[in-house]
Structure 1
């Protein structure tokens, strides 16, 4: 998970957080007061969606669908356990003292990377075809903004972190700026091989999600998705 923090117009703090699906994420509230009883966290998936109050006065709202995956950290941060693509969106941390807004509003935009098969793979073996879809789920058109202004890109790489080529062996197609698919016909040496989808911004890796091939008849399950946290 990587995050970028910068000020907007002198009145807001905006943070971009990149995560892979299944990862635990902490969204920091930089200007929170010490006891967290003044802290409120709001959430909206899209600009047109209803804003939901996740935390009010340091107390979690247990009447929301994903309440069991949310908690308030000791520093008033918002913890999200095992993120899914539905967690993407805008989070706002506010401080209220005596019912009056205090300090600077903090906006956190969470982007979630997810890799999935195009269909259930029940007979994965040499000679069979597999299509993997990698998508970065974002808030509204934030993806377009990051691509144009921050040089955000998605890549498929092999276990040696070398970009997979687009050729007769690998067909790599983009469907929109934040959606990239990999289609290939499996060979004998592909059993237990791992392919990773990377999110890069200005040539810096922000997060990644991986897919490990498991042939039919192995002791493991037919396939599994592994999500790797990148720090630094």
Structure 2
């Protein structure tokens, strides 16, 4: 009999943008392509006058990611950056390290015309599910990386639900939650022939900003005599 095959599916089903304090907040999942928009005075404005800056925390300088409309080649992520015809900054295949504050500046002035805060949600199993024939516990780790200026995540803002939409809290059959801050873990029991879906959500004031699924799919293979 052939072994069981385990597939891990990580899917973002909601991406949210909102404003707070005059800044745009964006929430995405690791692996997404993100477009950071820069407002220009008119459609005829030349992007050759646009500069993009990035800050991960308030203690660091604001390195240039885009200078005069062109990606700075010395940037460690230059290969994943691009500027479109609307002067927007495009980041491909984002990672947790891309979280932070982005500034768009038009022209040679000293003021930043746009400020955007990008937060990145990641979810991964530990240990990696490389042996689908083995039953046992697997811990799903969910974390939201964001600019340190925002401080700790609101209490109970990372929530877990199962495939029925039922919230998972405390200890119960088949799961155990870890600490809740900007990171949360859920320990689940993998059993051969059992398919379960778990969703990690970042929620603020009853509004889901971003969520991702972990689906463990066990596929049984038949043999013929």
TM class by shorter-chain length?
Answer: 0.7 to 0.9
Q: Could you tell me which residue of structure 2 aligns to residue 171 of structure 1?
A: 176
- What is the number of residues matched between the two proteins? 205
Separation (CA, whole Å) in 1 of partners of 2:55 and 2:110: 20
1:136 matched residue in structure 2:
144
Aligned to 2:209: 206
Tell me which residue corresponds to 1:92.
Answer: 103
Q: Please tell me whether residue 52 in structure 1 is matched to residue 63 in structure 2.
A: yes
Provide closer, same or farther for how the CA distance between residues 23 and 143 of structure 1 changes in structure 2, counting only shifts above 3 A: farther
8 Å CA contact retained: 1:25, 1:79: yes
Higher Cα Rg, which structure: 2
SS of 2:79's partner is helix
Query: Is the Cα–Cα contact under 8 Å of residues 193 and 220 in structure 2 kept in the other structure?
Result: no
Find the aligned partners of 2:161 and 2:191 in 1 and give their Cα distance.
17
1:185-220 C-alpha deviation (Å, 9 max, x unpaired):
2234533x32111111221211112222144977xx
What corresponds to 2:18 in structure 1? 4
Q: Tell me which residue corresponds to 2:33.
A: 24
What is the rounded CA distance, in whole Å, between the counterparts of 2:183 and 2:59 in structure 1?
A: 22
In angstroms, what is the RMSD of aligned CA positions? 2.5
Residue in structure 2 matching 1:181, options 176, 182, 185: 185
Using the TM superposition, give the Cα deviation of residue 67 of structure 1 relative to its aligned residue in structure 2, in angstroms.
1.0
- Could you tell me how far apart the structure 2 residues matched to 1:32 and 1:129 are? 55
Q: Does 1:106 align with 2:106?
A: no
CA contact (8 A) 2:54 2:62 kept: yes
Structure ranking higher on relative contact order (CA contacts 8 Å, 6+ apart): 2
Helix, strand or coil: the match of 1:132?
Answer: strand
Q: 1:216 to 1:131 in 2, by over 3 A?
A: farther
Gaps of 5+ in 2: 1-14
Q: How many Å apart are 1:154 and its aligned residue?
A: 1.0
- After superposition, the C-alpha distances for 1:14-71 in whole angstroms (9 at most, x for unaligned) are 1111011111111111345522222110012222234220111111112211111111
Q: Is the 8 A contact 1:123 1:216 kept in 2?
A: no
Counterpart-to-counterpart distance in 1, 2:105 and 2:19: 16
Of 154, 160, 175, the residue aligned with 1:147 is 154
